[in-house]
Every structure is written in structure tokens, then in C-alpha cells.
Amino acid sequence: MTTPGGEAPVTSDFVRSYVITGGRTLPDADDLALHTLVTLAPERKPPLGAGPEVMAIWNLCAGGYLSVAEVAGHVGLPVGVARLLLTDLSEQGHLLRRAEPPRAQNVDRATLEKVLNGLQSLIG
């Protein structure tokens, strides 16, 4: 661990995630699913005393819709922690969210082929 003249490097995350959440209970995943898209509501100012993580999320979301999973990935936080911060912002009215796009229905092959044929005849 300790070598004379040099200290061992410490690489663990400096600010632990339970401090970022303030020890609060994490919100349910149903509320903001991984694929839920969020973006900043227009004409909003960051909340007073927002921590660096909230500011990072703020700046990320200012660019347009991003999924919860992406936000978590970019700010380097566990998804649950990012979800809590997003929930906070959302409750303060700073966020617009859009439910995950509905899964495409499985269309039977025959229909698809018909459409394709139709299109091909249209486009030539």
C-alpha cells in the first residue's frame, strides 16, 4: 500500500453516490423508465444550490431529448441516482418527458411485402 517516497494512488469515486442522493430513498423505476426521454423545459433557470451532478444533467438535457439511461451514462452515475436527480428536476417542473416510443407491432410478412411492392411500384 505505502511505498517510501510515493503514495499509492486512490481511484475510487471521490464523492460517494449516497451523498449525492442525500441518503434519500430512490424512486421506483416505473416512474422514469430507462427509455423514458427527457429534455429541459424551455425558459428555465437551474435551481439555486444545484450540485455539480444536477448541473451536468441540466447541461446534458439542454441539448434535446435524451433517455434516462443515456443521461446516467454521460454523467457517470448509477441509473438509480440519475433517476432520483431527474425526478427532482421533473417535480420542480424543469423537465419535459416523453414516454418511451411504443414497441413496433409485429406486422406479418405478407403485409410488409404488399407495402414494399406498393412502394416499389410508386418509386419505380
Question: Binding residues for other proteins, per CB under 8 A?
Answer: 1-2, 6-23, 25-29, 34, 37, 39, 49-53, 55-56, 58-60, 62-66, 69-70, 72-82, 98, 100-104, 112, 119, 122-123
Q: Provide the minimum distance between the beta carbon of 94 and other proteins in the complex, in angstroms, as a whole number.
A: 15
- Sign of the alpha-carbon torsion through 11, 53, 91, 98: negative
Q: Provide the minimum distance between the beta carbon of 113 and other proteins in the complex, in angstroms, as a whole number.
A: 11
Cell of 75: 454523467
Q: Provide the minimum distance between the beta carbon of 24 and other proteins in the complex, in angstroms, as a whole number.
A: 8
User: What are the φ/ψ torsions at residue 43 (nearest 5 degrees)?
Assistant: 60, 45
Output 13 or 93, the one with its CB closest to other proteins: 13
Any idea what the Cα angle at residue 64 is, between residues 59 and 70, rounded to 5°? 75
DSSP state of 46: P
Q: Provide the minimum distance between the beta carbon of 49 and other proteins in the complex, in angstroms, as a whole number.
A: 8
3 pairs with which residues across the strands? 6
User: What are the φ/ψ torsions at residue 37 (nearest 5 degrees)?
Assistant: -100, 135
Cell of 81: 441516482
